[in-house]
Amino acid sequence: MTGLPRLTRPADAPIPGIGVVHLGLGAFFRAHGALYLEEAMAKSGGDWGVLGVSLRSPGLRDRLAPQGFAYTTCELGPAGETLHVATAVQSMLVAPEDPQAVLAAMADPAVTIVSLTVTEKGYCHAPSTGRLDFSHPDIVADLADPARPVSAPGYLCRALDRRRKAGIAPFTVLCCDNLPENGAMLRGIVLELAARMDEDLARWIEAECAFPCTMVDRIVPATTDADIERLAQRTGICDAAPVMHEPFRQWVIEDNFVGKRRPDFAAVGVELVADVRPYEHMKLRCLNGTHSAIAYLGYLAGAETVSEAVARPALAGFVRHLWAREIVPVLDPPSGVDLGVYTQALMQRYANPGIRHRTRQIAMDGSLKLPQRILGSIADNLAAGRAPKGLFLAVAAWMRYVSGVGEDGRPIDVRDPMAARLKAVWDDNDSVPEIVAGFLSIEQVFPENLADHPVMQAGLIEALNALLDIGAEKAASGFVR
């Protein structure tokens, strides 16, 4: 790539004022929310420029800054790539370098939305309950040194406190992570933290602030060096931070904004609704639930990507079984949505050969993903008197994956905040029933009613035995009719 000119901000790109601060700027928001905002401004105007914040490392800022924060989006359709230079992001801050600058930006009266994609682990909560984990090191740090927040909830509380003290209305907190009732959950977390800081702040947030729930959807595989190279070859311009994404996108938002101040989302296809729950259940359980199942079983079976996994009849058949028999029967679809059609479209999205979405990328942070993606469907099946054996196999595949050794005997790079604890379950127990009991006793992941359920215990033991005896692909093939 050396010698190629660097991507620059197009000379005719608008320069809107900053109306949105986005915490956790990464590939997903750049390929999803930022594009909707750009289109909404193009259609209906408004100052909804984005100031991105990285809560950790400077890497992305360092790549984007020389490009004026513009970047290429590559839509990977079955028939080829469509490129666009995205310009909604105006600038970026790296929080640990200057926490005061981030707080000042969040307290700016012109900023009326603070959106977040900090991934499941960024909320410092216990996934089985959705409550703040006060023993989380970032929360301990937030409470110890008010001037230098570390966590996303810490930044929200401190910035809201500044606004309150300055007599400025709060911003709307727009959570865009794949969590159950994400806005309501984040509201609970922020209120818990705020109450520890100052009861008056908590009361003010409770009364004045808005935390709409959202459902976000677009498959965005991590950009690789090979993607950067390919793009440079094709365009003759070097973009150090492009994003890859599928054609499909969806954004459903609860229409609850402070002072009704929001971009003209409706003009660009965002669905503004009164209740996001049916959409969220559909998406988290049908898409993310099977994504995680494919990630663990597919990885164990040697499939590097989702499209490679669903090209195998055993794994594709297994996923269809999950939808038809174990997930859809316990879902209430949003009105007007046919879940048969929805899941068929999902299979096509998974099979898109243009998208190289790695099973190991999706396998990350399973301890924080399983509850909303899979355990909810299991609980609903058990309540209806059914044993969801395919979902048990998916959970057992996660247990098998976090052992850290694959079916081929090679080490697995397990990325999970709980990785050491998960590995210890294997090290400290000998028999499969003991291993299953060891996992079920992790109360941050498994709610009590599930952990104690005899059908769940027996089902997991059977599934883990099958994985160890015959391997992931064969075990999955048992579900194919």
Q: Which residues are near ligand CS2 by CB under 6 A?
A: 178, 217-219, 287-288, 291, 361-362
Tell me whether residue 155 or residue 279 sits nearer to ligand CS2 (CB atom). Answer: 279
Q: How far is the CB of 256 from ligand CS2 (least distance, A)?
A: 22
SS3 216: strand
- Kindly write down the DSSP assignment for every residue of 67-134, as one continuous string: GTT-EEEEEEETTEEEEEEE--EEEEEEGGG-HHHHHHHHH-TT--EEEE---GGGG-EETTTTEE-T
| 3-state SS assignment for residue 469 | helix
Question: In this structure, what DSSP letter does residue 374 have?
Answer: I
The residue (of 102 and 295) whose beta carbon lies closer to ligand CS2 is: 295
Distances (CA, A) of 44 to 11, 249, 260: 21, 20, 16
Is the CB of 108 or the CB of 217 nearer to ligand CS2?
217
C-beta closer to ligand CS2: residue 248 or 426? 248
CB atoms within 10 A of CB 457: 17
263 or 366: whose CB is closer to ligand CS2? 366
Q: Between residues 136 and 249, which has the closer beta carbon with respect to ligand CS2?
A: 249
CB of 117 to ligand CS2, least distance (A): 10
Nearer to ligand CS2, 288 or 403 (CB): 288
For the beta carbon of residue 137, count every other beta carbon within 10 angstroms. 11
CB of 34 to ligand CS2, least distance (A): 15
Q: How far is the CB of 287 from ligand CS2 (least distance, A)?
A: 6
Distance CA 227, CA 222 (A): 10
217/473 with CB nearer ligand CS2? 217
Task: Tell me the residue nearest to ligand CS2 as measured from the CB.
Answer: 291
The helix-helix angle for 432-440 and 389-401 (nearest 10°) equals: 90
To ligand CS2, the closest distance from the beta carbon of 144 in angstroms equals: 32
**Cβ closest to ligand CS2, residue 118 vs residue 362:** 362
DSSP state of 271: E
Structure tokens at 247: 């054609």
Q: How far is the CB of 208 from ligand CS2 (least distance, A)?
A: 31
Provide, rounded to whole angstroms, the least separation between the CB of residue 182 and ligand CS2. Answer: 12
Q: Cβ-count burial of 451 within 10 angstroms (0-12 exposed, 13-18 middle, 19+ buried)?
A: middle
Q: Starting from the edge strand earliest in sequence, which strands make up the sheet with 214-217, in order? A: 214-217, 250-254, 271-273
Alpha helices, DSSP H only, in 137-198?
137-144, 152-166, 182-197
And the tokens for 266?
């409706």
CB of 292 to ligand CS2, least distance (A): 7
Please state the closest distance from residue 365 (CB atom) to ligand CS2, in A.
8
Per DSSP bridges, beta strands 214-217 and 172-175 are unpaired
Q: Least Å distance between CB 364 and ligand CS2? A: 7
Minimum CB distance to ligand CS2 smaller for 355 or for 461: 355
- Rounded to whole angstroms, what are the CA distances from 306 to 40, 59, 260, 355, 373? 32, 27, 40, 9, 17
